[in-house]
Amino acid sequence: MIDFVIKRLLLALPVMAVVSFVVFSLLLLSPTNPAAVIAGDYATPQAIAEIRAKMGFDQPLIVQYGKWAQQLLHGNLGVSVYENRPVIDMIAERAEPTVSLAICVVLVTLFAVPLGVISSWWAGRPIDRLVMAFAAIGTATPIFLFAYLLIGLFSTKLKLFPTYGFTSITAGVGPFLSHIALPTLTAGIAYGALVARVSRSSMLEVLNQDYMRTAKAKGLSVHKMIFRHALPNCAIPIVTVIGTRFAALLGGIVVTETVFAIPGIGRLCVDAILHGDYPVVQGVIIVVSLVYILVNLAMDLIYPLIDPRVRAS
């Protein structure tokens, strides 16, 4: 197992190297001079040149990348151009809302698994069509449309939840849940729709297997058939999609944070992109990609636990 983890971590290294190179290369696309941004609107050309030399922007790109990557390996994500603070501190400050939202969305998404199971069990029936319609609409509709529908109904009309903002769980479970409920539903619809579709299709595949027919012929109860034979055999595709689409979930969270004015990492990144605060953009993308890689590593480690055949191989 330890060998496997080490091997997977080693495989992640070139991926992180590519991510870092892509993130660094984004600077090349920018029409604005980072030194000019740092120097401010009224800076003289001489001041800009000085900052350029001081920051190393006048050096060859490969040298700049080498220095930047070296800092990165020491955990230094640089300093924000606008706030003049370490990027790592800014990300740490904004992590709680994003992590809370991501965990809540994943928890809510788990409800999509039984939806997919029900749908596959009654495949072709009205309940199946209903679930599949939800899945189709969930994946096709811009999530901010759901956000405004939910805000209009639950905040404006029924006044059940606040319209925007975030409250830490340390301030009490009640306020935390009331603030996070609508963002969770918003970001969870698209992700849940996907999980419901995958659960249905992998469950359908398992239900058509010979051993399921045998189980039915033996007179096994529906409960045992599903929980003992079907679900464990279709768990891997479901876990895989939860892991591989985690990046999509993070994307959804960016939009959700914007609609609900949640001060999270996604919002930090979008603001930084729009202001041209490159160190923050680079830092956030690096951290988010690292999280994605670690989540996928965790998924790989879960496989042997849910399917003994993987352990054997």
Partner 1 sequence: MKFRFAKVLHRPTMIAAAVVIVIIVLATLSASWVATADALALSAKERLRAPSAQHLFGTDMLGRDVFSRTLHGGRISLTIGLCVGVIATLAGLVIGLIAGFVRWTDMILMRIVDGLQAIPAILLAIAIAALAGGGIYSVILAITIAETPLVVRLVRSMVLTIREEPYIEAARSMAVPAWDIMFRHVIPNMAGALIVQATYICGVTILFEAYLSFLGAGISPETPSWGNIMAEGRNVALLAPWVVMFPGICVALIVLAFNELGDGLQDHLDPRIRKSL
Interface residues with partner 1 (CB under 8 A)? 14-19, 21-23, 26-27, 29-31, 136-137, 139-142, 144-145, 148, 151-152, 156, 163, 194, 197-198, 201-202, 237, 241, 247-248, 250-252, 254-255, 258-259, 266, 269-270, 273-274, 276, 281, 284-285, 288-289, 292-293
Rounded least distance, CB 170 to partner 1, Å: 28
Residue nearer to partner 1 on the CB measure, 15 or 220: 15
Residue nearer to partner 1 on the CB measure, 161 or 292: 292
Rounded least distance, CB 67 to partner 1, Å: 20
Rounded least distance, CB 173 to partner 1, Å: 28
Rounded least distance, CB 172 to partner 1, Å: 27
Residue nearer to partner 1 on the CB measure, 14 or 219: 14
Write a three-state SS string for the chain. CHHHHHHHHHHHHHHHHHHHHHHHHHHHHCCCCHHHHHHCCCCCHHHHHHHHHHHCCCCCHHHHHHHHHHHHHCCCCCECCCCCCEHHHHHHHHHHHHHHHHHHHHHHHCCHHHHHHHHHHCCCCHHHHHHHHHHHHHHHCCHHHHHHHHHHHHHHHCCCCCCCCCCCHHHCHHHHHHHHHHHHHHHHHHHHHHHHHHHHHHHHHHHCCHHHHHHHHCCCCHHHHHHHHHHHHHHHHHHHHHHHCHHHHHHHHHHHHHHCCCCCHHHHHHHHHHHCCHHHHHHHHHHHHHHHHHHHHHHHHHHHHHCHHHHHC
Residue nearer to partner 1 on the CB measure, 192 or 215: 192
Rounded least distance, CB 29 to partner 1, Å: 4
Residue nearer to partner 1 on the CB measure, 39 or 255: 255
